[in-house]
Amino acid sequence: MRYTGLIIITAFIFVCLFFGLNKEDQTLKSAFLNKPIPEINLNSLKKDKLDQSDFKNEIILVNFFASWCVPCIVEHDFLFELKKQKPIKIYGINYKDNIKNLEIWLEKLGNPYSKIGIDKTGITGINWGVNGIPESFLIDQNGIIKHKVTGVINEKQIKILLTKIESLEK
């Protein structure tokens, strides 16, 4: 009876640690979630610009990728699948890549992107808080970041994205 308080507090700490360590979502959320998109001003692959003015009045998925990134090859088919299920605009941001390799890559695998911005130095990646590629951001009609996918967009992520897009369309 003497140590009841101590046992209760120790048990409480262990319960907190247990639930804390077993939290399902271990991925880092974007610091920009529900905030306007960060600065973007890139030359695009087709010699025009990808900037803030491209993010108006429509739902857009921004996908950071590179031809040297192996998981991006896996993701590529899923981007086509997403477009098939929901024809939204996907902007690609080509992260620290070689343009020639990128062109060969797109020719070989196809191009799901409406526009591709070239982030040669990786500064746009840092501005957007990107940890590594592939990484994607779902942006609403007002240019607000609503969802972030860290890693490959796969079947499970497509379902999540479709639900999010539907709720944004309402």
The encoded tokens of residue 11 equal: 């048990």
Minimum distance of other proteins from residue 143's CB (angstroms): 17
Residue with smaller CB distance to other proteins, 41 or 141: 41
Report the residue count for the chain: 170
Tell me, what amino acid is at 14? F
Instruction: Classify strands 145-150 and 135-139 as parallel, antiparallel or unpaired.
Output: antiparallel
Q: Crossing angle of helices 155-169/70-85, nearest 10°?
A: 40
**DSSP 8-state code for residue 29:** P
Residue in 8, 99, 104, 126 binding other proteins, rule: CB under 8 A = 126
132 binds other proteins (CB under 8 A): yes
Minimum distance of other proteins from residue 36's CB (angstroms): 12
31 binds other proteins (CB under 8 A): yes
Interface positions with other proteins (CB under 8 A): 2, 6, 9, 28-29, 31-32, 38, 96, 121-123, 125-132
